[in-house]
Amino acid sequence: MSEFASVLRSWRARVTPADVGLPVGGHRRAPGLRREELAALAGISVDYIVRLEQGRATNPSPQLLGALAVALRLTDGERDHLYRVAGAAPPSRGMVPRHIGPGVQRIVDRLSDVPMAVFTASHDILLWNPLWAAVNGDPSRFVGIERNLVWRHFTSDHDGIEYDAQHAEEFASDLAADLRSAVGRYPDDSGLAHLVTRLRAESPEFERRWAEARVAEHRSSRKTVTGTPAGPITVDCDVLAVPGSDLRIVVYTVAAGSADEARLDLLRVTGLQTLSV
């Protein structure tokens, strides 16, 4: 058995359904994930998982390896080993990190009472909890560049989000400045360069802010999400840095005892269901 097949099987066996938010019921011959469960988490076929574990599939793509690393809750070192034994180069230090380690995954899994999502340094959304989807709409309906927060802010008319004048100015300025900072840290990332090129070409507002050459990191804002099934909710949005990975955990909170808190409580129960009045 190849090293790739060996580690894939071993790492699948050590991840329990509870670790990834799956039901534990039913008879299981082993405590780890079933092949069909790993396939669903990674977005590939069960047959391909079988062929990978039997050494009959070779040269998996970097995208597939990244999906397996996230599904298996691999550390950065384990992820890099998976790439190498698959014959692929680990992600470059000049590329925007996209790997979600097991610690970050557990934070999102267990803190379900606040809307929470994980973004890259270039503001691509990678992971979110159900309450985030209930407040903002399900991010999985977007693909490609539409999953980027900066792109959507400057090209989609804020899409159901309202800011007061102060926070609108601060948020837009911070996004452009934060993206410029990411360009400096990740010069080899062609996807990031393409994002900036398209934004400058298609958003005069972004181009104006980009020309200011401001460098900063976005850390907080306040906004009102107007399109939730429970009605408008005003949230404080705080961005928490993940040490060693440059990922950002974005958390929404609301004022205690407010109408916003009551509406958020309602969304915890209803999720993505449409409420009738």
Mean pLDDT of 197-201: 97
For residue 182, give every residue at least 6 positions away whose Cβ sits within 8 Å of its Cβ, in sequence order, or none.
96, 121, 122, 192
Q: What domains are defined for the chain?
A: 3-85 (1.10.260.40), 102-270 (3.30.450.180)
The burial of 244, by beta-carbon neighbours within 10 Å (0-12 exposed, 13-18 middle, 19 or more buried), is given as exposed
Angle at 15 between CA 11 and CA 21, to 5 degrees: 145
The sign one gets for the Cα dihedral 227, 229, 235, 239 is negative
Angle at 103 between CA 88 and CA 90, to 5 degrees: 10
Which phi and psi (to 5°) does residue 231 adopt?
110, 180
Q: Which residues of 184-222 are buried (b: 16+ CB within 10 A; e: fewer)?
A: eebeebebbeebbeebbeebeebeebbeeeeeeebeebe
Q: pLDDT tens across 105-151, in order?
A: 889 988 989 999 999 999 999 999 999 999 999 999 998 999 999 99
Q: Is the pLDDT of residue 277 over 50?
A: no
Q: Is the pLDDT of residue 269 over 90?
A: no
How far is it, in rounded angstroms, from Cα 222 to Cα 166? Answer: 10
Q: Tokens 């890099």 label which residue? A: 80
Question: Which helix or strand (DSSP H or E) is residue 187 part of?
Answer: none
The dihedral region occupied by 239, where left means phi > 0, alpha psi between -120 and 50, and beta the remainder, is beta
| Tokens linked to 35 | 């092949």
Q: Calculate the dihedral angle through the C-alpha atoms of 36, 39, 40, 42, rounding to the nearest 10 degrees.
A: 160
Q: pLDDT tens across 224-261, in order?
A: 999 898 999 999 999 998 887 899 999 999 999 999 99
Residue 275 binned pLDDT confidence (cut-offs 50, 70, 90):
very low
Please state, for a pLDDT cut of 70, what percent of the chain lies above it.
96
